[in-house]
Amino acid sequence: MELHKRTSGSVHIIDVKGDLDLFNSHKLKESVNELVASNIGGLILNFGQVDYIDSSGVGVLIYSNSLLKSNRTFFHIVQLHGSVRRVIELTKLIGFLPITDTEDAALKQIHGAR
Amino acid sequence: MEWLFFATKAVVLALSLFFLVSLRVRVQVKALDAIQFLLFWAFARDLLFAVFPQPAILFIGDIGIYAALLVWIRRYTGQRRSDYYWFVAAVVAAGVGIAVEAQPDATVFTVHLTANVVLLGYLLYSTSEISVHNTRDSELIVDSRFVLSSSLIILAAIGTVTAYSGGAIGHSAVLLHYIAIWFVLLTQSQLHHLINELTIASLRRQTENLFEFMEALGGGIADRVDIQRILEMICKSASRTIEADGAIILMVDDVRNTLRVRSMSGFYPPPYAVPEVVKHRSASLHEYVYNTEIPVGETLLGQAVEHGDAIFIPDSTDDERLSENTGRDFLFVQSFIAVPLVVNNRVLGVLSLVRRDPDHQFTDEDFQHVQTFASHASMTIDNFYTYLEAIQHREIQREVNIAADIQGKLLPKEFPRRSGTEIAVYSKSARGVSGDYYDVLELDEDKIGLVVCDVAGKGVPAALVMVMIHSMLRLIASAEREVGDTLTWINRGLSGQIDLDHYATMSYLTINHKVRRLSYSNAAHHPLLIVRDDSDVIEQLDTEGLPVGIERDVVYPQKAVDLHSGDVLVLYTDGIIEAMNLEGEQFSMDRLARVIRENSNEGAQQITDTIQSELDEFVGSARQHDDQTLMVVKIA
Amino acid sequence: MTDTELSPSTEGIVIDDRSPLFDTIGMFYKEFPSDLRQIRYFTLIIVQKSPPEFQEVNLLEQQIGEIIKNAIRHGNRHDRTKKVRAWYSFTDNEARLIVEDEGDGFHALERWNEFLKERNRCFQRQDFERMAAYVSFRSEHSSDDDGGNALFAAVEYWNGGVVFNERRNRIALRKIFARIAPGIGIDAGQGQS
């Protein structure tokens, strides 16, 4: 798995690439922790290039959600697809996790809310 | 003279009644009975006046006509509290009217005038406040009220002026009543035509909706087959066609024997109990309904599916089936329709619609419409499913073919035959697997390399891993490189790749004919079987190691043994020993070992053929689950 | 919550030694070491036997992986000398899996079932405030990289049943694949067509 960080204004975007599983999901968790500590305007996780997730990966998404929520920071997960989306559905976290179709839509929501 | 007037009125009455009856046959109109009463009342008045020419009869007759008209109007608007005061006033006016009849003319005139102004005033006010916005079906009143009101005013004026004494003017004036009623009936008749036209227009609109729907479906096919979009389209169209307030489609989950919501449009209060917390916000209720799975047979929706019968409840009042939906809250439903989506006696799901306006129930026609619509929709959905299945089948077949093609191209067609060493291979691919790989490499004049490999996974991804191994083997393997090192390097190459699951068990061995020595290294594959020429004991040769592709830094050890003429070496994959017959038994290592032992004196090809035929016999007609590969080497 | 409220969601995991889901006849068998590094490999080996017509094979693989991971983590506690045993079989529309570890069993099962029930209730009502307390199940053995959510997905995914043995170290699961075209025969409410 690789993580690529970008920004759009004060919103930080992490492009996750590859499989998110118990061997590497901690890396994503650390990145999220670092960003949150630096007082950002919002965080988007782009899952467009993730085709596999396991329960540890799902755990990191739950963790990130509650961390950013308690920090009152905008958080969106975008471009979930295929079996990754199905896993989230089966775990009944659609609705609980802030899932948005596209990055543009997420950015619009973040900017619109301000 | 009096009787002539009376005869005229009788003719007019007869004509009016005929008109009224003919209207009634054609149209269902509210409150025509009030008009009918009014006609009879007027006629009775005139008949009575012809016999007893008392002004009080005409005066009380007018009050009766006002009362009848008020009743007529109230049939549209519903009772008002002030109506009771009016009736009391009318009764008092009638009593006072009769009582003052004996008094001098001036008093009579005043009483009549006052009573007329008050009573008629209220009637005119009641008529004037009606509009199509506050009263349903009020077009008739609105269209006829000007003529009606003015005729009543004129009549009252004439009656008062002539002191209800009859005479030519009085009689002519009274005729106005009949004319006014004629006008009401005429207006009703015209309205009927108009409504007819509106109905035709609405039918046309519905047809257009259907066409639009069909067109949209066509678009759906052209873009990309998306059953979800089709269901949403069906839901919306059905709702629009009969002007429902909410519509829902649930599809059957035949594994769980439940219904799941697939589409909702408008606001749909469900016909079952919901927890208190979601009752008070339409958004919460919506979410709750969307996420609630309904067992087949439970609730009205489940029943419609279980029996395949449509359910129509035009009026929820006092209907137990909708007992959850009669309160004045978000759950309120006035009319309910649930139609199962049925094709060839198979229920796919259910379409349900509700209307929430208490004054606007679903009609039988609406129900008919939905049923027709649902049968079209079911066929459409079924066709889509068939189409999807066909597409999926084609795609699977394509993938299977591509993978088999790759595998077929990589496997060697013929083997080097050096110093009499005989190599035979039996390999049979399972449809869609393509994970077994074997290879024979000529490393130099004296040395050959043999590989048997089982890639984990299946299909094109497995075939691609095979391509990688095939290429790396050709880069890495050489006469000089140790077999363990070769595996170590292949493993390192494979483990560096991301985006691909690339694991394989792999046996790699080299045979040096000249010195009759074998080197062997194994990445978690089945051990190499060796049957010595002078023995029927099967030796197993194995080395430690993970499958390739898991851990980048694994170092694979190796073992070397001496070979003798007549020794038999066997490598095989899972598919051989796990081959299953119809009873669920596996071919097993024991059977394989027995066949090898019994035939170890034969040539490699003969041993392979025997194993193959035993395997075929064992498996019978059972499905082949996995690729099967068997490599047998006979040392010369 | 009224007692007439619909709750057709899964009843959770039951304990039943005599469940037909434990019948291993006709199933393939493999033993794996308790080595998390090899999870993906183990699952691929298992899924390899499935027919090409199976839908969402990636998801099937992921779900099998979670079960084996649980056996290694919670059952064998990463002890590499302990084995994970797996039985598996596939027909045209069904996948079956039995996984056994050498641990002392899933003792928190009852608590987990209760947890699941409450979690499903929150989900059905879309009550995400409350659901926040029910997203991950934790027991005394839960480690940091353990999402605590794998079995929630499992009871949804394995729609043909999830059963533990009395010792609670052997889990049997069954997945029935829906045909693309759903549908039941009329009046087939009691059984499946």
* Overall residue count recorded for chain C in this entry: 193
For C147, the closest of A56, A66, A92 (CB atoms) is: A56
* E strand or H helix at C29: strand C28-33
C156–A90 C-beta distance less than 8 A = yes
Domain extent at residue C56: 14-174
- Residue A30's domain comprises 2-101
The residue extents of the domains of chain B are 2-196, 224-389, 411-634
**One-letter amino acid identity for A24?**
N
DSSP helix/strand/coil, B449 = strand
* Tens of pLDDT, residues B572-622: 999 999 999 999 999 999 999 999 999 999 999 999 999 999 999 999 999
- pLDDT above 90 for C67: yes
pLDDT of residue B111: 72
List the structure tokens of B17. 């009644």
- Residue B20 confidence (pLDDT) above 80: no
Strand A74-78 versus strand A42-53 pairing type: parallel
Identify the pLDDT of residue B188. Answer: 74
Query: Would you call A20 helix, strand, or coil by DSSP?
Result: strand
Cα distance from B613 to chain A (closest Cα, Å)? 42
pLDDT at B205 over 70: no
Q: From B291, which residue of chain A is nearest by alpha-carbon distance?
A: A92
- The pLDDT, as a whole number, for residue B213 is 64
Please provide residue B572's backbone torsions phi and psi, each rounded to the nearest 5 degrees.
Answer: -155, 165
Number of separate domains in chain A: 1
CA C59 to chain centre: 13
B429/chain C closest Cα distance in angstroms: 12
CATH architecture of B411-634: 4-Layer Sandwich (3.60)
Give the residue from C118, C123, C130, C149 with the most A CB atoms within 10 Å of its CB, the best one to mutate. Answer: C149
Contact yes or no for A2 and B498 at CB 8 A: yes
Q: How many whole angstroms separate alpha carbon B71 and alpha carbon C85?
A: 86
pLDDT for the residue numbered C2 = 40
What whole-number distance in Å separates Cα of residue B336 and Cα of residue B300? 10
Cβ neighbours of residue C11 under 8 Å, at least 6 residues apart?
none
Is there a domain that residue A109 lies in? no
CA distance B226 to chain A (A): 15
Q: Can you tell me the mean pLDDT for B126-147?
A: 77
Residue C167 confidence (pLDDT) above 60: yes
Considering the domain boundaries, does residue C156 fall inside one?
A: yes
Q: Are B360 and B331 in contact (CB under 8 A)?
A: no
User: Is the pLDDT reported for residue C7 higher than 80?
Assistant: no
Q: What residues pair up with B292 in beta bridges, in sequence order? A: none
Six-digit token pair at B362?
Answer: 């679903």
- Is pLDDT larger for residue B76 or for residue A85? A85
**B504 in Cβ contact with B524 (< 8 Å):** no
Instruction: List the chains bordering chain B where 3 or more Cβ pairs fall under 8 Å.
Output: A, C
Q: Which of A1, A56, A89, A99 to mutate to test the interface with C (most CBs of C within 10 A)?
A: A56
**In chain C, which among 31-60 make CB contacts under 8 A with chain B?**
37-38, 40-41, 44-45, 47-53, 55, 57
Alpha-carbon gap, residue B95 to B102, rounded angstroms: 13
Listed in order, strand segments (DSSP E) in B418-555 are 422-428, 436-442, 447-455, 504-512, 517-523, 528-531, 538-541
Give pLDDT, residue B498.
61
Which residues of chain C are at the A interface, by a Cβ-Cβ cutoff of 8 Å?
A: 36-37, 40, 56, 58-59, 62, 65-66, 69, 119-120, 123, 126, 128, 131-132, 135-136, 144-150, 152-153, 156-157
With CB atoms and an 8 Å threshold, state whether C125 touches B278.
Answer: yes
* CATH number, domain B2-196, options 1.10.3470, 1.20.1260, 1.20.1070, 1.10.3720: 1.20.1070
Place domain B224-389 in its CATH homologous superfamily: GAF domain (3.30.450.40)
Interval B247-270: pLDDT, tens: 999 999 888 889 999 999 999 999
Average pLDDT over residues C72-90: 94
Sequence-distant (6+) residues with CB within 8 A of C22 are: C98, C163, C165, C170, C172
Tell me the C-alpha distance between C9 and C5, whole Å.
12
Res B167: pLDDT: 66
Per-residue model confidence (pLDDT) at position C34: 95
Supply B427's token pair.
């390999």
Q: Mean pLDDT, chain B, as a whole number?
A: 85
Residue-wise pLDDT tens digits, C99-144: 999 999 999 999 999 999 999 989 888 888 899 999 899 877 777 6
Residue C191 has pLDDT above 50, yes or no: no
> How far is Cα B423 from Cα B292, in angstroms, rounded to an integer?
63
A66-80, B192-206, B313-327, range with greatest mean pLDDT: A66-80
A53: domain CATH number is 3.30.750.24
Of A102-111, B27-36, B259-268, C35-44, least confident by mean pLDDT is B27-36
d(CA B585, CA B579) in angstroms, rounded, equals 8
Spatial neighbors of C26 by CB under 8 A, at least 6 apart, are B580, B583, B584, C89
CATH code, domain carrying C85:
3.30.565
Query: Is B523 within 8 Å of B501 (Cβ atoms)?
Result: no
Q: Is residue C7 part of a domain?
A: no
8 A C-beta contact, residue A42 and residue A31: no
Q: Pick B317 or B497 by higher pLDDT.
A: B317
Residue A91 lies in a domain: yes
Comparing B260 with B419, which gets the higher pLDDT? Answer: B260
**What token pair was written down for C83?**
């084995």
Question: Which residues lie closer than 8 Å to B571 by C-beta, 6 or more apart?
Answer: B438, B450, B452, B507, B509, B525, B526, B528, B529, B629, B630, B631
The CA distance from B282 to B316, in Å, is 20
Partners of B295 in the β-ladder: B258
ipTM of predicted assembly, 2 dp? 0.90
**Vertex C154 angle, CA C149 and C160, to 5°:** 160
